[in-house]
Structure 1
Amino acid sequence: MKQQFTRLALFLLLAAGIALAILYRDRFNTAALEQWVGGAGAAAPLLFMAIYAIATVLFLPGSMLTLAGGALFGPVVGTFVNLTGATLGALLAFLLSRHLASHWVEHKAAGRLGQLKAGVEQEGWRFVAFVRLVPLFPFNLLNYALGLTRIRLLHYLVATYLCMLPGALAYTWLGYAGREALAGGEGLIQKGLMALALLAIVAFLPRIIGRLRQGPTLGINELNDRLEKGEPLLLLDVRSEADYRGEMGHIAGSRNIPLEALEARLTELADYQEQPVALICTTDRRSKKAAQILAGEGFAEVHVVAGGMAEWHKAALPVHTAAPMQSTAPSQSTAQATE
């Protein structure tokens, strides 16, 4: 009973803090930060990190803080201060969420939510690293969401600190370059170009990470060898059902989920997140799009079959034209026959 009361009191205190932070959000700006930090002397970096951590917990904008950190402390010290403050805030939010609600979520999570939670926990630090490098969700909200999982604290902390470094460096340098521009410092062109280059790298990180997670393409002969050897491999055909069953046929043992339905049916593939997945279509255009979807959902090893079924036919390898063994959803004719 005492523990429940403590949790309730902590939750109400946190909710009140977030509400006040949102209400007075317009007063939280660069000028106010400079005034608070300016008189702290040697303790200014520590004070700024504390402000950054509290702001993260209270859903205040981190981008403004990072730019301010670059302007106040320069690119090197500023990056350290920003990254450390953001990580401390992420850690506090993670611990608060875990203490307040993880036990309740553990018993209530079911269905799609339960599968999603299990998938995140299975990925562990790799999921944390991925979402820090490729920010799919708002940073502040993600910290609380990850606290509801059973991801290890140390894994969360290390992956957060290391994988937020590129973004922290880019935005800190941008804040520094902006301050120099206003002050009329030397080397403005070089500093501005450096800031743009770092931002470009951060902007392209999602594509780079997605390609890394896709793994190398599979040639037709290599795919055939792996299938003949019985290696653990999900061969996913992302053509339409009509094409899958049509004149071109399909490869024995493959599974058909059309590209258009892939995102809605990802739960069917949950068992394959840590196993090799080979994607095939008529050529490889649809497979590449499917690979981006699976990589974005945390699948560890995704391969695109180069040339697709067109190359498979050129190699005169066997195909099947019978209906697929697994049923995605009953076709209209099947439903009518059943009725």
Structure 2
Amino acid sequence: MVKLQKSINKRSSGVLLLVAFVITFGSIYFLAKNIKDLEGLVASWGIFGPLLVVLLYGALSVTPIPTDPLSAISGALFGPIVGFIVSWIGNTFAAVIEYFLGLGIRNATAFEKRKKNLPWGLDKAPVNSACFLIGGRFVPGFGSKIVSVLAGVYGVGLWRYTWTAAVANIFGSAFYTLGGFQLVTLFSRI
């Protein structure tokens, strides 16, 4: 029975990894081929444009591509208020997807059983702490993605994770959407 469980865990991990790679490279390819058409596409969708952008945040969540430029584009496309709301909802949506990816890793690897064998006291990492869940998202680069996946792997409750991600995303969304809006304003004067 133990051998069967290990075989299932290895197979699940392999499938999860394959799906992540396909989604990652598919998303990168799609964005690279269609980046110039994105603005026109979003504008042509009218009221559904913001929904398209929120779904794009979700697609980027499983890739190494940061969503910060998309937040700036949201500010440029929709203005500071609607752009902020789209960015905030989109980033929180992406964070929840990343959390569920971490939960999948937790289940596929039987993390709870292996946690006690982690080096450097990582089994006692304060991943459930609101300070970690909010503050870790401000680490430049992949901080927010790492926090999201770790929260899933360590089994942080969904409600606690979601509200801390939403609070942290307020600041990033405001910064990038206002920046994107101001860049459009600046360049329109030149």
2:102 corresponds to 1:97 = yes
Deviation at 1:167, TM superposition (A): 1.9
Q: What TM-score do you get using the length of structure 2 for normalisation?
A: 0.81
2:142 corresponds to 1:135 = no
Could you say which residue in structure 2 is the equivalent of 1:45? Answer: 50
CA 1:151–1:7: 2 relative to 1, 3 Å: same
- CA distance in 2 between partners of 1:153 and 1:35 (Å): 36
2:160 corresponds to 1:155 = yes
Q: Which amino acid aligns with 1:55?
A: L
Which string of whole-angstrom CA distances, capped at 9 and with x for unpartnered residues, describes residues 90-114 of structure 1?
101111221233452222232425x
Aligned partner of 2:114 among 100, 105, 108 = 108
Deviation at 1:118, TM superposition (A): 2.2
- Higher helix proportion: 2
Is there any run of 5+ residues in structure 1 with no aligned partner, and where? 186-339
- CA distance in 2 between partners of 1:104 and 1:171 (Å): 38
Is there any run of 5+ residues in structure 2 with no aligned partner, and where? none
For the residue of structure 2 that corresponds to 1:126, the secondary structure is helix
Aligned partner of 2:174 among 169, 173, 188 = 169
For the residue of structure 2 that corresponds to 1:157, the secondary structure is helix
Deviation at 1:28, TM superposition (A): 5.9
Residues 124 and 155, structure 1, Cα contact 8 Å, conserved in 2: no
For the residue of structure 1 that corresponds to 2:65, the secondary structure is coil
Deviation at 1:67, TM superposition (A): 0.7
- Higher strand proportion: 1
Deviation at 1:65, TM superposition (A): 0.5
- CA distance in 2 between partners of 1:73 and 1:136 (Å): 26
- CA distance in 2 between partners of 1:8 and 1:71 (Å): 40
Deviation at 1:38, TM superposition (A): 1.6
Q: Which amino acid aligns with 1:98?
A: L
Deviation at 1:41, TM superposition (A): 1.0
- CA distance in 1 between partners of 2:118 and 2:130 (Å): 23
Could you say which residue in structure 1 is the equivalent of 2:149? Answer: 144
CA 1:130–1:88: 2 relative to 1, 3 Å: same
2:83 corresponds to 1:81 = no
- CA distance in 1 between partners of 2:17 and 2:180 (Å): 35
Deviation at 1:172, TM superposition (A): 0.6
Q: Which amino acid aligns with 2:26?
A: L
Which string of whole-angstrom CA distances, capped at 9 and with x for unpartnered residues, describes residues 121-169 of structure 1?
4x4323101213x326613343223221121111110001112211210
Q: Which amino acid aligns with 1:135?
A: V
2:40 corresponds to 1:35 = yes
2:130 corresponds to 1:118 = no
- The sequence identity of aligned pairs, in percent, is 21
Q: How does 1:295-314 map to 2 (within 5 A)?
A: none
CA 1:178–1:117: 2 relative to 1, 3 Å: farther
> Max radius of gyration: which structure?
1
- CA distance in 2 between partners of 1:136 and 1:181 (Å): 26
Q: How does 1:159-238 map to 2 (within 5 A)?
A: 159-184=164-189
- Where relative contact order (Cα < 8 A, 6+ residues apart) is larger, the structure is 2
